[in-house]
C-alpha cells in the first residue's frame, strides 16, 4: 500500500472494516465477540444475542461513532478496500490478505483485544492468538447497564405491576461495581463460601438435574463496616450477575397496605432478572417486627418475606439470596433456618488489618509502618481503616503534599476515635 501514511485513524478504519467482514462471514460470532468500543457502532442493544447481518459500513457511520471524517480518502490506497459511491459505503474485498496487511502494520495488539478478529485469525492460522483467551478477557455485554435496562424495560412493558418493586430496589450492573475481589481481605470461611458459590454456578445444571436445590441462601452476620455489603457487591462483578439491593425498612415504610404485595413483587422481579443477586440489607428488621410489632399488616409482610425466601432457589431460579444483619441475636429460629449458610464477618484481627491497610494504600505514596499501625488499631473495622487513610490523605493534601506521613496517619486515627466516642455518647 502506498500513497498514505499508516496513522492510528487509518488502522481504526481498517479494524472496523475487518471486524464487520468477520461478523458478516461467521454467523457464530455474536455480541460478546465485539469489544466495548465497537458495540454502539454495530448497534448492540436489547437482550438478543444475535447481531443484525449483513452489516454495512458507511463514511457517515464511521464519522458519527468515531469522529473520523472522509474515511475512504484515508484508506483508498489499500487494495483490499472497496467503495460504493451510492451510500458512501466501504467494504473489505478479500479478508485474508487484508488481515495479513493489518498484522504487518502492527495490528496484532488490536486483535488481542478484538474477539471477532481473534476468531478469524486463529481459525485461518495467520498468527499466534487464542480466541478463547481474548473473548474471556473481553467485558461481557450482559454486564453492562444497557443490557440490564433493556431487560428491565421488557419486564415492565409486559407487567406494569412490577414498577412498584423496581422503585424499591437499587439495581447495579456488574460493570458499575467498584469493589474488586482482589482488593478485599477475606477470612478463610468467607473464601470457602466464595469457592462453593463458584462451583455451584459452574455446575448449576448438574445440581438441578440431581434435584439438589438447597443452596444459595446466605446470611452475612457481623458488626457495621466489616465488609458484608462490599463482599456482596464484589460477588456481583465476579459472578457476572446484577445485584438488587433491598432495605427492608424502606420497603415497609412505604404504603403499609402494599408491603406484602411489594415483597412478593421484589422476589418475582428477581426471578425475571435472573441470574442475579438479591441482597437484603438490615435483615434484623424481620426479627424486630416479629417480636415487637403488633400491627397485623406488618406481620403479614414478614410472613410473606419468609415464604418467598422458602420458594427462591439459586439452583432452580438463578437467584442468589444474601441477607445481611448487624444484630443476629434479634433474629429468631424461623428466620435463621431459612438460610443454607451463615457467614460471620468479625472485626479484623491484626494480620487482616495489616493486609487491609496495605491494599488501601497500594495506589498512594505512604511512608506507613503497617505492622505498627495494625497493632495500634485494634477494634477498627475495615471501614474505619478506610476512613483513617482517607483523612490522612486529606491531611497531606492540606499541607500541600501527596505523600502520607506519620503525622497524617495520627490525624486520621484521631478522626476515627472521635467518631467512635460520639457514637457511644449517651445524650
3-state secondary structure of 303: helix
Residue with cell 456482596: 232
Same domain, 70 and 115: yes
Burial of 118 (0-12, 13-18, 19+ CB in 10 A): buried
Closest residue by Cα to residue 383 from 225, 220, 187? 225
The 8-class DSSP code of residue 141 comes to G
Mean pLDDT of 330-342: 84
Kindly state whether residues 291 and 183 are assigned to the same domain. Answer: yes
For residue 235, give the CATH number of its domain: 3.40.50.300
Q: Are residues 213 and 282 in the same domain?
A: yes
Q: How many CA atoms lie within 13 A of 77 on its CB side?
A: 8
CATH of the domain at 363: 1.10.8.60
Q: Is 1 a member of any domain?
A: no
On whether both 186 and 331 belong to a single domain, the answer is: yes
Tens digits of residue pLDDT in 118-148 = 999 999 999 999 999 999 999 999 999 999 9
Q: Which residue has the cell 431460579?
A: 317
Q: Model confidence over 340-373: pLDDT tens digits? A: 899 999 999 999 999 999 999 999 998 888 999 9
Domain of 113 in residue numbering reads as: 8-139
222: left (phi over 0), alpha (psi -120 to 50) or beta: left
Domain count, the chain: 3
Rounded alpha-carbon distances, angstroms, from residue 117 to 4, 34, 111, 131, 213: 24, 9, 6, 8, 41
Q: Where are the beta strands (DSSP E) in 162-288?
A: 170-172, 217-221, 243-247, 276-281
Q: What residues contact residue 179 under an 8 Å CB cut-off, 6+ apart?
A: 230, 231, 233, 234, 237
What sections of 45-129 are H helices per DSSP? 59-66, 71-75, 95-104, 108-111, 115-124
Which triple of cell numbers denotes residue 385?
A: 481503616
What Rg value do the Cα atoms of the chain yield, rounded? 27
d(CA 80, CA 101): 9
Let me know if residue 2 belongs to a domain.
no
> Domain ends where: 344, 372, 407?
344
Average pLDDT for the chain: 89
- pLDDT tens by residue, 248-296: 777 765 555 677 788 889 999 999 999 999 999 888 776 655 555 556 7
Does any domain span residue 39? yes
Domain boundary among 89, 119, 139: 139
Percent of the chain beyond pLDDT 90? Answer: 66
216-241 mean pLDDT: 93
| Contact partners, residue 158, CB within 8 Å, separation at least 6 | none
Q: Which of 51-55, 263-267, 333-337, 412-416 comes out lowest in average pLDDT?
A: 333-337
Give residue 87's pLDDT.
Answer: 86
Omega before 54 cis (within 30°)? yes
Residue 117, CB half-sphere, CA atoms under 13 Å: how many? 26
pTM across the whole model: 0.85
The average pLDDT across 23-30 equals 95
Whether residue 236 is found in the same domain as residue 331: yes
List pLDDT tens digits, range 182-192. Answer: 888 989 999 99
Neighbour-count burial of 205, counting CB atoms closer than 10 A to its CB (0-12 exposed, 13-18 middle, 19+ buried): exposed
Please report whether residue 336 resides in a domain: yes
Three cell numbers written together for 184: 478485599
Residues 269 and 304 in one domain: yes
Amino acid at each position: 500500500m502506498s500513497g498514505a501514511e499508516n496513522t492510528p485513524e487509518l488502522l481504526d478504519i481498517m479494524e472496523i472494516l475487518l471486524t464487520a467482514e468477520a461478523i458478516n462471514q461467521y454467523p457464530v460470532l455474536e455480541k460478546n465477540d465485539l469489544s466495548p468500543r465497537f458495540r454502539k457502532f454495530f448497534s448492540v442493544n436489547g437482550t438478543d444475542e444475535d447481531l443484525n447481518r449483513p452489516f454495512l459500513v458507511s463514511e457517515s457511520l464511521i464519522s458519527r461513532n468515531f469522529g473520523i471524517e472522509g474515511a475512504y480518502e484515508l484508506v483508498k490506497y489499500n487494495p483490499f478496500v472497496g467503495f460504493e459511491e451510492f451510500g458512501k459505503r466501504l467494504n473489505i474485498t478479500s479478508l485474508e490478505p487484508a488481515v495479513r496487511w493489518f498484522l504487518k502494520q502492527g495490528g496484532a495488539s488490536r486483535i488481542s483485544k478484538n474477539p471477532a478478529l481473534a476468531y478469524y485469525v486463529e481459525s485461518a492460522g495467520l498468527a499466534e492468538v487464542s480466541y478463547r483467551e481474548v473473548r474471556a478477557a473481553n467485558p461481557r455485554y450482559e454486564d453492562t447497564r444497557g443490557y440490564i435496562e433493556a431487560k428491565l424495560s421488557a419486564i415492565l412493558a409486559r407487567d406494569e405491576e412490577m414498577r412498584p418493586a423496581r422503585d424499591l430496589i437499587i439495581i447495579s450492573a456488574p460493570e458499575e461495581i467498584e469493589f474488586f475481589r482482589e482488593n478485599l481481605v477475606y477470612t478463610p470461611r468467607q473464601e470457602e463460601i466464595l469457592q462453593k458459590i463458584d462451583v455451584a454456578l459452574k455446575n448449576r445444571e448438574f445440581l438441578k438435574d440431581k434435584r439438589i436445590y438447597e443452596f444459595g441462601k446466605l446470611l452475612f452476620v457481623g458488626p457495621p463496616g466489616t465488609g458484608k455489603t462490599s463482599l456482596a457487591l464484589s460477588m456481583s462483578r465476579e459472578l457476572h450477575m446484577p445485584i438488587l439491593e433491598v432495605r427492608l425498612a424502606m420497603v415497609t415504610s412505604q404504603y403499609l397496605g402494599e408491603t406484602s404485595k411489594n415483597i412478593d413483587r421484589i422476589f418475582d422481579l428477581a426471578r425475571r432478572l435472573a441470574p442475579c443477586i438479591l441482597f437484603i440489607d438490615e435483615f434484623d428488621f424481620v426479627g424486630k417486627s416479629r417480636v415487637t410489632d403488633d400491627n397485623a399488616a406488618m406481620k403479614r409482610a414478614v410472613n410473606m418475606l419468609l415464604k418467598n425466601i422458602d420458594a427462591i432457589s439459586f439452583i432452580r431460579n438463578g437467584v442468589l439470596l444474601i441477607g445481611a444483619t448487624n444484630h443476629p441475636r434479634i433474629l429468631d429460629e424461623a428466620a435463621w433456618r431459612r438460610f443454607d449458610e451463615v457467614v460471620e464477618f468479625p472485626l479484623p484481627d491484626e494480620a487482616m488489618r495489616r493486609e487491609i491497610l496495605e491494599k488501601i494504600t497500594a495506589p498512594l505514596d505512604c511512608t506507613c509502618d503497617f505492622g505498627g499501625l495494625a497493632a495500634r488499631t485494634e477494634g477498627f473495622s475495615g471501614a474505619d481503616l478506610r476512613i483513617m487513610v482517607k483523612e490522612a490523605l486529606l491531611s497531606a493534601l492540606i499541607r500541600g503534599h501527596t505523600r502520607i506521613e506519620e503525622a497524617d496517619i495520627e490525624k486520621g486515627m484521631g478522626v476515627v476515635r472521635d467518631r467512635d466516642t460520639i457514637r457511644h455518647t449517651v445524650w
